[in-house]
């Protein structure tokens, strides 16, 4: 429950922008709309869709532990750390049990 509350608080603090810049990194917060073989479509809080590339270097985490692609499901909230160019997901943090109906 604490992890969920932390995720909600972090999301609330960052709702003014879908992308936050810091140390040449990008972050995308949103809800998974669709998972494809090598990319993911995420809807942000402004209902804008963003497509990010997934590759063999993309790290997945859920509840502070390694996750698998099976954890990437439509409606699941995620926090994605993107590459410097904003196109590739370097790390995806998957909210523990949090889904959002669109």
Farthest CA pair distance, the chain: 34
pTM exceeds cut of 0.75? no
Distances (CA, A) of 3 to 6, 40, 44: 5, 23, 20
User: Is the Cα torsion angle 68, 83, 46, 95 positive or negative in sign?
Assistant: positive
**Given pLDDT bands bounded at 50, 70 and 90, which one contains residue 4?**
low
Instruction: Render pLDDT for 25-81 as a digit per residue (tens, 0 to 9).
Output: 589 999 999 999 999 999 999 999 999 999 999 999 999 999 999 999 999 999 999
Distances (CA, A) of 59 to 26, 45, 55, 87: 15, 23, 9, 15
């Amino acid at each position: 429950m604490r992890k969920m509350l932390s995720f909600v608080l972090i999301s609330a603090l960052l709702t003014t922008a879908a992308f936050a810049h810091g140390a040449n990194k990008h972050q995308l917060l949103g809800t998974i709309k669709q998972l494809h073989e090598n990319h993911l479509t995420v809807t942000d809080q402004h209902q804008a869709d963003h497509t990010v590339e997934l590759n063999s270097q993309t790290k997945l985490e859920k509840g502070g532990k390694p996750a698998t692609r099976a954890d990437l499901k439509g409606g699941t909230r995620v926090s994605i750390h993107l590459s410097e160019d904003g196109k590739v997901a370097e790390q995806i943090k998957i909210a523990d049990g949090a889904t959002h109906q669109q």
